[in-house]
Chain A
Amino acid sequence: MFFFGSIWAGLALGFLAGLIVAIVSAYLTINKPYDQLQIGFGIWFLTEGAAGFLYFMTMNTKFRVEETLPSFNGLDVVFFATIAITIVYYLVIHRTKYGLSVVAAGENPGAADVAGINVHRVRWICTLVGGSLLGLAGSWFSIIVLRHFFYNMVAGYGWLAILTVIFAGFAAFPTFLAALFFSFLIGMQTRIQVYGFLPLPREIILVLPYIFGLILLIVSGVLRKKTSAPAALGHPYERE
């Protein structure tokens, strides 16, 4: 981004970085039967460290992005893009043959296999799409939201994203709404800090969205009783 002097190049690089990480992760968890949780933690530590390391290696000065994305009524294109992604995702999953393959590969890969679906290919594609979108989101957060970079800047928002999906029961539109809701909480937290509505220490205010999220998750978990996570989530598939 700094090298190219364009936020678009920055976002594209973020997308690409996400894709590369997804390739590594897909190979290790799909082709090799390694535990997704372990690989996930490994990749987390590695990429978080690598991001900081590369940043300090290549740039000595602090930078600040001045350029902005095109926006309408104060909402930049990313907001509209997320709506579009949600709709496209919904249509693909529920209306197309690819959607059936994706659901089957995640719920019952054995059934997908005997239906002639290449389970590994479907999982590869899903991981790559997910990884590159995550990369895009991360670079957006740094370039557009914070307008600079510092170590550990995402502050666990990735975890909040996982929580959002679980809370929304792995469904498209509920996830979108839940994400809006959590964004609202995070926005509130900054404003509470700035305007000082609540006579609470800063540290407490900082963790409020997480505490609130945790409570919601527990409540929704109790109400739902059964998990809506795909049955084969995290299970490598191999023919016996």
Chain B
Amino acid sequence: MQEPSKTDNVLLEMKGITKRFSGIVANDHINLLLRCGEVHSILGENGAGKTTLMNILSGLYQPDEGEIFIDGRKVAIKSPSDAVKLGIGMVHQHLKLVDTLRVWENIIIGYEPTTFSFIRREEAKTKIMNLQHRFGLHVDLDAKPPDLTACDRQKTEILKVLYRGARILILDEPTSLLTPSEKVKLIQTIKRMAAEGICSVPFITHKLPEVLELSTCLTILRKGKVVATLNANEIGTEESLAEKMVGRTVLFHLDKKDVAAGNTMLAVEGIEAFDERGVKTLNGVSLSVNEGEIIGLAGVSGNGQKELAKVIMGIIKPSKGKVTFKGEDITRSNTLARRDRGFAYIPDDRMAEGIVPDLSIKENILIGNHRKAMFTNRWLINDEFACKYAQETIKRFNVDTSDINKPVGKLSGGNIQKIVLARELSRDPTFILADKPTRGLDVGSQEYIRSVLLKERENRKAILLISEDLDETMMLSDRIAVIYEGKIMKILPCQGTTKDEVGLLMAGHCTAS
């Protein structure tokens, strides 16, 4: 046990922070210590209280109990502007950028240099450019946020915080919207800023590889409580972290039983299609999915996965090519007809396409099933049956609530995805299209959703899994199809294929075989 001799460089201390939301304890006597130049990961499942804690630090919420010390002095942070004065800045998970303002305006907002209230534009821009230079955060200052990449938007937010002179840079799941290469760049930037002592970084995440790569210190939260505080040398492995975070052993390698693949269920042949901007994103895709088989579609996002999913579900029509199901041509049939044939769809953007956030759990489970005879008394919905059905379904899919009248938007990401699964799989489908089903979820929910998909495979369902997470694809799939620039590069059996091989194909390199 090391003596806590470095008390002199303690920057921030949070003591006994407690916050309740209408009876639910989001933070239960949390202690947190942040030293200068530290990247302090705050790890926890969705709903563990990480964001609440940081919202308290950034002045958005007031704690019910507890004290905050900065440089050893007790402080009261009553508003975001108090936090800024104390050198605390937060980059929120859902970025806080105004789409109609330019990047430089977004950066200076609230802290503009002015003469008689008129903004001194040149001065503001020069100041930002100096910051960009110092930290290597290059973004076009005159662009507007919707025209930027996710990474540049993230950089804009970081610049905003640095512009205000923050010493404590809170990052709330900053990598969730980034592509793998953008992630690497961002992580390098964070590392550098901390190492040079420019900022100390509380880093909220539920992604274990990032924790291992970045942290100089780690606090794990579970259900609003601190379960462990670890220094860099005590962090250990992903498995041990996951266990602490979830409170039980998490299986990173799920048991995959042998299932003999059967007849071809879904097949697409030579599909060509355009996206909403009129760009040709599918360039002759052919692939088939058999009974009792998971096909993993691997690829860097934006290579046509989204359009392929929409073509298969009949949401967009291909300009060329054929979609067949059990040998029957269904290219021209609409989404309803396809769902009636037993298509289940777990969409990529669960908040926009998977659910209606304002409607209740019951109603969300009913959507799309409501036409079925068992849910209706002639013209009206059979509410009694719908309630019973919803109750049973959420129980079957381990949704963490018993109130079927709760709006789905109020649930955590993992539970929302379980509602989507519950609705889609309770239809007893024959074909399942799962588009990034575990994206943004914590390891516990990920494990659950993966195990459900494997169970469906054992039930001889045909499954097409679209994922950016190569580990997930390798873990679940029987065959892997790699998509690159709207074309299938190759279809490989999962067994005997290495991650590197798939990675090269994803980057567009044809391996000699």
Interface residues in chain A, defined as those with a beta carbon under 8 Å from any beta carbon in chain B: 91, 95-98, 100-101, 103-104, 107-108, 110-117, 230-231, 239
Residue of B nearest to A100 (CB): B109
CB distance from B168 to the nearest CB of A (A): 15
* B79 interfacial by beta-carbon distance below 8 Å: yes
Which residues of B have CB within 8 Å of A91?
118
A103 close to B98 (CB less than 8 A): yes
| Highest count of chain B CB atoms <10 Å: which of A98, A110, A112, A115 | A115
* B477 interfacial by beta-carbon distance below 8 Å: no
Bound-state CA distance A110–B101 (Å) is: 14
CB contact list, B92-133 vs A, under 8 A: 92, 94, 96-101, 105-106, 108-112, 114, 117-119
B117 close to A108 (CB less than 8 A): no
A117 close to B109 (CB less than 8 A): yes
Residue of A nearest to B85 (CB): A116
* B56 interfacial by beta-carbon distance below 8 Å: no
Residue of B nearest to A115 (CB): B110
CB contact list, B66-94 vs A, under 8 A: 79-81, 84, 90, 92, 94
Q: If the complex has contacts A112-B109, A114-B60, are A104 and B80 also in contact, measured as CB distance less than 8 A?
A: no
A114 close to B119 (CB less than 8 A): no
What are 9 A-B residue pairs whose CB atoms fall within 8 Å in the complex? A96-B118, A101-B110, A104-B98, A104-B109, A107-B100, A107-B101, A114-B60, A114-B80, A231-B100
* B393 interfacial by beta-carbon distance below 8 Å: no
B117 close to A110 (CB less than 8 A): no
Which residues of B have CB within 8 Å of A117?
109-110
Which residues of A have CB within 8 Å of B81?
116
From A96, A97, A103, A116, B80 is in contact (CB under 8 Å) with A116
Interface size class of B (residues with CB under 8 A): 20 to 34
* B216 interfacial by beta-carbon distance below 8 Å: no
B92 close to A114 (CB less than 8 A): yes
Residue of B nearest to A113 (CB): B80
B99 close to A231 (CB less than 8 A): yes
CB distance from B166 to the nearest CB of A (A): 12
A96 close to B98 (CB less than 8 A): no
Bound-state CA distance A47–B65 (Å) is: 48
Q: If the complex has contacts A96-B117, A116-B81, A239-B60, are A110 and B96 also in contact, measured as CB distance less than 8 A?
A: yes
* B417 interfacial by beta-carbon distance below 8 Å: no
CB distance from B457 to the nearest CB of A (A): 39
Which residues of B have CB within 8 Å of A239?
60-61
User: Closest 4 A-B residue pairs measured CB to CB?
Assistant: A116-B81, A115-B110, A111-B96, A97-B112
B98 close to A108 (CB less than 8 A): yes
CB distance from A100 to the nearest CB of B (A): 5
B99 close to A114 (CB less than 8 A): no
Which residues of B have CB within 8 Å of A108?
96-99
Bound-state CA distance A187–B499 (Å) is: 74
* B175 interfacial by beta-carbon distance below 8 Å: no
Which residues of A have CB within 8 Å of B97?
108, 111
B101 close to A100 (CB less than 8 A): yes
A116 close to B101 (CB less than 8 A): no
Which residues of A have CB within 8 Å of B105?
100
* B290 interfacial by beta-carbon distance below 8 Å: no
CB distance from A228 to the nearest CB of B (A): 9
* B58 interfacial by beta-carbon distance below 8 Å: yes
Residue of A nearest to B105 (CB): A100
Which residues of B have CB within 8 Å of A98?
117
CB contact list, B20-79 vs A, under 8 A: 58, 60-61, 79
Which residues of A have CB within 8 Å of B84?
116
Which residues of A have CB within 8 Å of B58?
114
B119 close to A111 (CB less than 8 A): no
B79 close to A116 (CB less than 8 A): yes
Q: If the complex has contacts A104-B98, A107-B100, A108-B96, are A96 and B119 also in contact, measured as CB distance less than 8 A?
A: yes
From A95, A101, A103, A110, B100 is in contact (CB under 8 Å) with A103
CB contact list, B142-183 vs A, under 8 A: none
CB contact list, B213-262 vs A, under 8 A: none
From B94, B106, B117, A97 is in contact (CB under 8 Å) with B117
Residue of B nearest to A99 (CB): B119
Which residues of A have CB within 8 Å of B109?
100-101, 104, 111-112, 115, 117
A100 close to B119 (CB less than 8 A): yes
